[in-house]
Amino acid sequence: MAKVTGIGGIFFKCKDPKAMNAWYKEHLGIEAGEYGASIHWGQGVEGAESGITQWTTFPEHTKYFDPSQKDFMINYLVDDLEVLVATLKKDGVTLLDEIATYDYGRFIHILDPEGNKIELWEPKRGG
């Protein structure tokens, strides 16, 4: 069964993304560039699996989270996007777009029952 394997990203709206990025850098050490910050993590054991979580601020009037009216969006890492999408379709889950492929993986957006937009990401293997 295809499933979520981690948090791929935390995205949220704010009135002043540049000021918010500066605050997070000064107080929490998160250094964000144009596309946010990539937070690399691991299990703390040599040879253990590691991953990445993307942290990004967006302008408060961004349309990227539409049709959700929420000020945040979570990106979940998944292990097999094709299988998961087939299951979601069968279960009647709202798919907002088709699977898109980029150099760093494949993505699709869905809505949960309360209208939260969710981004599903299958990272590129071996990259």
Written as six digits, the tokens of 45 are 């054991």
CATH of the domain at 76: 3.10.180.10
Side-chain half-sphere CA neighbours of 91 within 13 A = 13
The whole-number pLDDT of residue 36 equals 92
Band of residue 1 on the pLDDT scale cut at 50, 70, 90: confident
Give the chain's domain count.
1
CA distance 118 to 114: 11
42-87 per-position pLDDT tens digit: 766 665 667 889 999 999 999 999 999 999 999 999 999 999 999 9
Q: How confident is the model at residue 34 (pLDDT cuts 50, 70, 90)?
A: confident
What is the pLDDT confidence band of residue 35, given thresholds at 50, 70 and 90? confident
- CA 77, 83, 85, 91 dihedral sign is negative
Residue 27: give the domain boundaries.
4-123
Segment 27-44 mean pLDDT: 85
Distance CA 18, CA 47 (A): 36
pLDDT of residue 126: 65
Share of the chain above pLDDT 70, in %: 93
What b-and-e string marks burial along 26-53, b requiring 16 or more CB atoms within 10 Å of the CB?
Answer: eeeeeebeeebbeeeeeeeeeeeeeeeb
Residue 88 has pLDDT above 90, yes or no: yes
Binning pLDDT at 50, 70 and 90, where does residue 41 land?
Answer: confident
Distance of alpha carbon 5 from alpha carbon 75, whole angstroms: 11
Q: What are the structure tokens assigned to 104, written together?
A: 């760093």
Q: State the CB neighbour count (10 A cutoff) for residue 100.
A: 10
CA 116 to chain centre: 13
pTM, 2 dp: 0.85
